[in-house]
Amino acid sequence: MKIKTKSKKVNKQWLQDHANDPYVKLAQREGFRARAAYKLSEIDEQFKLLRPGQLVVDLGSTPGAWSQYIRRKFAAGGAAVGELNGRIVALDLLEMAPIEGVTFIQGDFRDDDVLAKLNAAVNNEPVDVVVSDMAPNLTGVTVTDTARVAHLVELAVDFALQHLKPEGALVTKVFHGSGYGELVELFRASFRTVKAVKPKASRDKSSETFLVGFGLKNPGAR
């Protein structure tokens, strides 16, 4: 009974914190589906990643806040609907409500069939930016969770190496802790410039950070 009571208290506290979160309130006012939009916004403002006319792939897109932010970058006046200058292909294991101008693929990024659909959606065109907010279901077992996180990051890096333009960029979510150093080294082996960023919109209690890689080290090796 004590465990259940504690769990309810923790859940109630999280809901209260969430409701009072300034980024949650801002997302509601500005029409974003999640506060995560402001994480990408901060990264984009810092590194000037997104510009009209680009082809962008959004991995782990549901509920769609990152795709929403990108499509507003591609629309005149930052409009949430209407014509946009650029292409966005989004993918997630979970269903995502439609976003005007965004091509969505539902499926597991680790499955070859789903990757084939993603490849078809980009039509073998070089991609300007890949963004990945993918995260596995965590078990609480450190070794297992570390391996799952690393695998998703490795898949995102591999996709980026195969599809990015030579001067393209990749943004992925990672977590500090066991295995973090290895993922940084993977980025350094793959990109000419690597930056680690923890946006202000990322909760202080969260161990998440984002690795940003710019410019392929070996663009002719794909």
The residues that are catalytic are 173
Q: What is the DSSP string of 55-114?
A: EEEEES-TT-HHHHHHHHHHBGGG-SSS-BSSEEEEEESS-----TTEEEEES-TTSHHH
Edge-to-edge order in the sheet of strand 127-132: 102-106, 87-92, 55-59, 127-132, 164-175, 208-216, 191-197
Burial class (CB in 10 A: 0-12, 13-18, 19+), 221: exposed
Q: Print the SS3 string covering 22-41.
A: HHHHHHHHHCCCCCCHHHHH
- C-beta separation of 190 from 217 below 8 A: yes
Q: Looking at the DSSP assignment, which residues form a beta bridge with residue 56?
A: 88, 129
Going 22 to 23 to 26 to 31, the CA torsion angle's sign is negative
**Distance (Å, rounded) from C-alpha 34 to C-alpha 185?**
31
Residue partners of 113: CB distance under 8 A and separation at least 6: 107
